[in-house]
Amino acid sequence: MSVLRQPNGSNKAGLTRRDFLSLTLASSTLAMLAACSAPAAPAATSAPAPAATAAPKPVATTAPAPAATAAPAVSTAAPVAQSFDWKKYSGTKLRYLGWNGPWSDDLAAKLPEFEQLTGIQVTWERLPQEQNRQKAMTEFTAKNKDLDLVFVAPDVDCVKYFKAGWLYPIDEYLASSKMMPPDFDLKDFAEGVMKTGNILGKQLVIPHQVDVAGFCYRKDLFAEKGLKPPETMDQIDEIFSKLHAPPNMYAFVSRGTAAQGPVTWAAYLYSFGGDWLTADRKPAISTPESIKAIEFWANLCMKYGPPGTTSLNWPESSAFVAQGKAAVEIDTTSRKSVYEDPNQAKVAGKMGYALFPKGPGGAKPWVWTAGTAISAYSEKKEAAWYFVLWTVSKQNQLFTQVKGTAAVRASAWKAPEMDAIRKVTPDWIDTTLKTMEISDRPINPRVVAVMEYRNRVGEVLVKALQGLKGDALKAEAVKCDTDLAAIMAKTET
């Protein structure tokens, strides 16, 4: 039977994941995303979750078994139907190294269903993100065959883990009718979202939760001024000029610390036609497209934002909107859980959600995902794959969606169970679904030293917010690329 192991200790934080969980589906993803985008300790590829200071919280669950190399990128075409036997690996015992959080808490409670369906027993260990990563690296380095599955954020963990040979690609399973339930329906997953789990040409993860960048705005103020959300970047300045009335109302607010600014800025980078890296994996912060994205974003912050943007993290920036001091935040749409909280926000019921505006490079907002990967050292990879399939089944995606974790399957967003939320914020649902369809851009650079790389870029952004521009900004970006190349030379082995 499944073993549930509860740790000692308690979470101590100001803004925690569970503070927002009961509000909307946006809540749990907001906390996960904020954690993934926080500055990391030197030895880790990502920062600790802002609200997580608790002791480990293990729970029994399954883990996919890793293997050697994999087949080509995933196709949504259904394999020719053959019999699929959920009981094939009955009696197998799996171990899953997971994260703390609502998705894990909610699905772990359903483990008896998985055991009854498959006969597979799962030990699900739940830890704060950084403890998870530290333990995962320790066990992977030791080539521990006892670890079958690991919770990952692809754009933080998977380049490092895959380059080290620690994760098993799942392409062959996705292409095999013997390994895919006939009712699984890969087309239910947006192609862009699936691509976030494809690292260096190999599918490592089927994402189980998602967050997207979007345009979050005061629809009441827009209506008063006869305004509509901008469809393109070049419409933003005129719109903001009609909303800006400091110090009572700032048209715009953005997080802007060296650690957090790059998260917001990444969507501008892509939409201006730039990227973190060139096609041959060289740093690309000094390209014309990147420089234009830096200048555009910094100008919006300086011209229409409150003083002190360089000190704003996500709780502070979202608080400006929630307390009625800023009209627009162009960032994660999971801020909805903050804006719509009637107990904390003055703007509850007044917010609208629209697509991230198109730039010269098109509409390319970022998409953040998390999922479960199979350890390359597992000797039970196929049984572990069964667990992965179960976690992202239509039934479980709807279950975790209704519980508060934004799902990846389109069917979960369109289900009757979503009608209550759809009546209140239909634009939030439409924006999320549309963004999942049009983009596969990650928040972070696809490198091993994710946070070191990103924080170095953040230093350039901070200088731009302090007024650096033109040739001086270009020179700083060139120096940044030189430093980033040195970082990659030490870590991309």
pLDDT surpasses 70 at 6: no
Q: Is residue 284 part of a domain?
A: yes
Residues above pLDDT 90, as percent of the chain: 81
Q: Check whether residue 168 and residue 92 sit in a common domain.
A: yes
Q: Check whether residue 448 and residue 423 sit in a common domain.
A: no
Q: Is residue 144 part of a domain?
A: yes
Q: Check whether residue 186 and residue 275 sit in a common domain.
A: no
Q: Are 252 and 326 in contact (CB under 8 A)?
A: yes
> Tens digits of per-residue pLDDT, 190-215?
988 999 999 999 999 999 999 999 99
> Tens digits of per-residue pLDDT, 288-345?
999 999 999 999 999 999 999 999 999 999 999 999 999 999 999 999 999 999 999 9
- Residue 30: band (very low, low, confident or very high) from pLDDT cuts 50, 70, 90: low
> Tens digits of per-residue pLDDT, 144-184?
999 999 999 999 999 999 999 999 999 999 999 899 999 99
Q: Check whether residue 145 and residue 30 sit in a common domain.
A: yes
> Tens digits of per-residue pLDDT, 247-294?
999 999 999 999 999 999 999 999 999 999 999 999 999 999 999 999
Q: Check whether residue 331 and residue 408 sit in a common domain.
A: no
Q: Check whether residue 51 and residue 100 sit in a common domain.
A: yes
- Residue 23: band (very low, low, confident or very high) from pLDDT cuts 50, 70, 90: very low
Q: Check whether residue 256 and residue 374 sit in a common domain.
A: no
What pLDDT does 392 receive? Answer: 98
Structural domain containing residue 378: 17-210+369-430
pLDDT surpasses 50 at 65: no
Q: Check whether residue 79 and residue 177 sit in a common domain.
A: yes
Q: Check whether residue 468 and residue 419 sit in a common domain.
A: no
| Residue 168: half-sphere exposure toward Cβ, Cα within 13 Å | 28
- Residue 493: band (very low, low, confident or very high) from pLDDT cuts 50, 70, 90: confident
Q: Is residue 107 part of a domain?
A: yes
Q: Check whether residue 129 and residue 218 sit in a common domain.
A: no
> Tens digits of per-residue pLDDT, 71-81?
344 555 544 44
Q: Check whether residue 305 and residue 358 sit in a common domain.
A: yes
Q: Check whether residue 134 and residue 191 sit in a common domain.
A: yes
Using CA atoms, how far residue 463 sits from 245, 286, 331, 475, in Å, is 26, 14, 21, 12
What is the DSSP secondary-structure string of 198-215? EETTEE---EEEEEEEEE
Q: Is residue 112 part of a domain?
A: yes
Q: What is the pTM of this model?
A: 0.84
At 35, the amino acid letter reads A
Q: Domain ends where: 387, 408, 430?
A: 430
Number of domains in the chain: 2
Interior angle at CA 354, CA 350 and CA 355, nearest 5: 165
**Domain containing residue 317: CATH number:** 3.40.190.10
